[in-house]
Amino acid sequence: MGQYLNMRLVSAFQKASLLLGLLICLMGLLALIVWIPHMPAARSFLPSLASIKPGISAVFVLTGMSLLLQASPLSRDRLILNMTGKLIGVIILLLGLIPLAEYVTGQNFHLGELIRTSQTNSGSSYSFIQTLPGIFISIVFIGLALVLLDMRHTDWMVQASSFIVGLYGLSIISGTGSQINAPLQSLTYSQSTVYIAIVFTFVAAALFCIRPEKGIMSLFISDTTGGIVARWLVPLVVLIPVIFGNLWIYSHEANLYDFMPQISRSFITITAIYLIMILFVSHMLMKADIRRKTAEMKLQKSHDEIEDLYNHAPCGYHSLDDKGIFIRMNDTELEWLGYQRDEIMGKMKLFDLLADSSRQTLGKHFKHPTKWASLKNQEMHLTRKNGTSLIVLYNAHAKQHPDGSLIMSRATMFDITEQKKVEKALQISEEQFRNAMDIAPIGMAIVALDGQFIEVNHSLCQIVGYPKNELEKKSFQQITYPDDLSTDLVRLKQLTEGKIQSYHLDKRYIRKDGKIIWVQLTVSLQRDSLTHDPLFFISQVEDITERKLMEDKIRQLAYHDSLTRLPNRRMLIDRLNHAIALAKRHHHILAVMFLDLDKFKHINDTLGHDIGDELLKAVAVRLSLSLRKEDTIARLSGDEFVIVLNEINNALDAESVARKILDKMRQPFLIMGHELQSGISIGIAIFPQDGNDTIELLKHADSAMYASKESGTNQYQFYQG
């Protein structure tokens, strides 16, 4: 109920608690002054306070200090101030409990003497209550309230304690204490007792005011009907017994009326009942007022939300009367049209804003109310105040008389001006794209997600040799070379999943005539601008067959011997390095054979270089036929060849291959009409025993070859380290 509190009253009550705390502290100090030694003037000036023991005066000072600390408006060190105030409350609680224990048990703890009130005016005929237990109990409740202040779920305990202390003080002030406490042993009425009662009353008031937003005090500061009733009636009900009780005291002491005590008791009882009734009725009125105001606030909030939704909706709303004049329009539509509300409401018709084509369309519906009753998704062109065009999607519903005549209509409009611009721009863009696609010098295609060609250009048709209408009935999978299809599909999947934005790929197509061609393919994915769902692929195809052939030729020249077409030194080194790496990884054996033709120089010099070249070609063929597919043979230079035997079991395998080669080389060669006999010398090095790297193996194989050549023609020799 925080929103129903009167914050000005909250502030006023909190300030009042500060002032009361200061006043209580001063009243305690005033009572202490008379106990200062060597100050007889103070005792003579304040004789009625001399009977108040210093312990009670100290309690008053401590109570005032605790109230000032816990009611302090300072935000800094708030926790320290509150904890200090509660610590003082604990001290006050002990100062009340110990004398009360003395009184109840009869024991003497030598502390009660500081708190017991002296009896004065012994000669008075007015018999008052025994003040000691009442004072002790009040001090205990004061300490308890100060300790429990601001603790969770203790507001009712604090205010109940304050009520008991205040009731005790008011009962003394009102002069009715003897009637309420008749069973107790009485003391003589004294001014010091009234002084203490006044302080207790102030303490109770300060405790009620220190946190006015909590507990029963929230009733007094609420802006509800119950709060107003409580603020006016409760003070009157509280003041009446005080005034009436004091009148009774004066009349009793003056012997004016003997029946006043009976009247006082009855009056106080009735007053207490009235007080309870007023608080109960005020509380019920406050709850009813809160429920009513809460319902009103919810209703107003709902109305404001609906009004805000109506005025700031992303679409336009308006209502027309039976003559087509605007009678209501939301802020969105007013902003679209550029008019002020007073310029259009009750003055302009919908027809005044329509373009000619839309005016004719709507005019047809006005002539036929049954059609007008359900106008849906009608495109309308309106003219803004500044003369620009506003294109809307118009929906309307009409209220009609039983005879079908129009009462009024309500309509919604969606601004599709930008959408239309985008559609127009898209249409132009698509036309430009198709035009550019048709005249592009490279092949282009729009491909469905399943690979079906949607649209192809003239260049692509020329590349693959299909007519346009025939190619658009095929998929790219049907014209892709089988060995290249899997790679293409993997990249397409990555593209669809968003892992890549586009990809480039060299692949082969199969033309309609069966010829295999190389193309460079670039593929991107078109996605929906809103949902980002994939729509189709855009492919660009460039014929690179000639480039591939040229690259093959360059590669052939770079890695092969131009005469024999065997791998050259560069490829040999590359393959031998790879073979050694595999052998080390898998613990295999390999052999390197170094071969050199016998008597080749003599043949070359006597018969000519042409016959020598043809002999080298024939030797290359014969050596190749002696090897496995996984082995490598290379021509280093002149008449020198190198063979790499991969993954052999032992040196005997290399020896077997060497013998096979020698057998084949013993057969004569028929070259350009000349029967030639050429031997060959072979040197063999084994990995890993004869070397761990390419250079070392070639060096040792070469060394073995020279050793073989020295031993005669058509010999082989293993490296002897």
* Most confident option among 166-175, 205-214, 259-268: 205-214
User: How many domains does the chain divide into?
Assistant: 5
Q: Has residue 698 got a pLDDT over 90?
A: yes
Helix 651-666 to helix 609-625 angle (10° resolution) is 140
**Is residue 432 in some structural domain?**
no
β-pairing, 716-718 vs 680-687, is parallel
Residues 101 and 237 occupy one common structural domain: no
**Is residue 429 in some structural domain?**
no
Token output for 316:
């336009």
Residues 99 and 175 occupy one common structural domain: yes
Q: Has residue 183 got a pLDDT over 60?
A: no
Q: Has residue 521 got a pLDDT over 90?
A: yes
Q: Which of 214, 239, 262 is the last residue of a domain?
A: 214
Q: Has residue 440 got a pLDDT over 90?
A: no
Residues 453 and 522 occupy one common structural domain: yes
Residues 208 and 251 occupy one common structural domain: no
Q: Has residue 519 got a pLDDT over 90?
A: yes
CA distances to 42, 97, 332, 337, 358 from 354, in Å:
98, 90, 18, 11, 6
When mean pLDDT is compared across 204-218, 252-266, 506-520, 689-703, the lowest value belongs to: 252-266
Long-range contacts, stretch 672-677, CB < 8 angstroms, 24+ apart: 672/610, 672/611, 672/614, 674/607, 674/611, 676/603, 676/607, 676/611, 676/615
**Is residue 572 in some structural domain?**
yes
Q: Has residue 121 got a pLDDT over 50?
A: no
Residues 629 and 492 occupy one common structural domain: no
CA distances to 326, 644, 659 from 706, in Å:
113, 18, 17
Up-side HSE of residue 485: CA atoms within 13 Å toward CB?
11
3 state SS of 712: coil
0.75 exceeded by pTM: no
Q: Has residue 116 got a pLDDT over 60?
A: no
Residue 133, domain extent = 12-214
pLDDT of residue 246: 60
Residues 207 and 275 occupy one common structural domain: no
pLDDT of residue 365: 61
Annotate 406-444 with DSSP letters as a single string: EEEEEEEEEE-HHHHHHHHHHHHHHHHHHHHHHH-SSEE
Task: Encode pLDDT of 243-299 as tens digits.
Answer: 666 666 556 555 655 444 555 556 556 766 777 787 788 778 878 887 888 888 888
Task: Encode pLDDT of 349-387 as tens digits.
Answer: 888 898 888 887 776 665 554 445 567 888 889 999 998
Residues 290 and 257 occupy one common structural domain: yes
Q: Which of 214, 229, 251 is the last residue of a domain?
A: 214
Residues 205 and 65 occupy one common structural domain: yes
Task: Put the strands of the sheet holding 640-648 in their side by side order.
Answer: 632-637, 640-648, 589-597, 680-687, 716-718
Residues 298 and 345 occupy one common structural domain: no
Please state, in angstroms and rounded to a whole number, the distance separating the CA atoms of residues 458 and 472. 12
Q: Has residue 193 got a pLDDT over 50?
A: yes
Residue 188, class by beta-carbon neighbours within 10 Å (0-12 exposed, 13-18 middle, 19+ buried)? middle
Residues 305 and 329 occupy one common structural domain: no
Task: Give the CATH number, domain containing residue 401.
Answer: 3.30.450.20
Task: Encode pLDDT of 548-582 as tens digits.
Answer: 888 888 777 778 888 898 999 999 999 999 999 99
Q: How many CB atoms lie within 10 A of CB 403?
A: 6
Q: Has residue 178 got a pLDDT over 90?
A: no
Do residues 542 and 443 make contact, with C-beta atoms less than 8 angstroms apart? yes
Residues 220 and 210 occupy one common structural domain: no
Q: Has residue 113 got a pLDDT over 70?
A: no
Residues 192 and 221 occupy one common structural domain: no
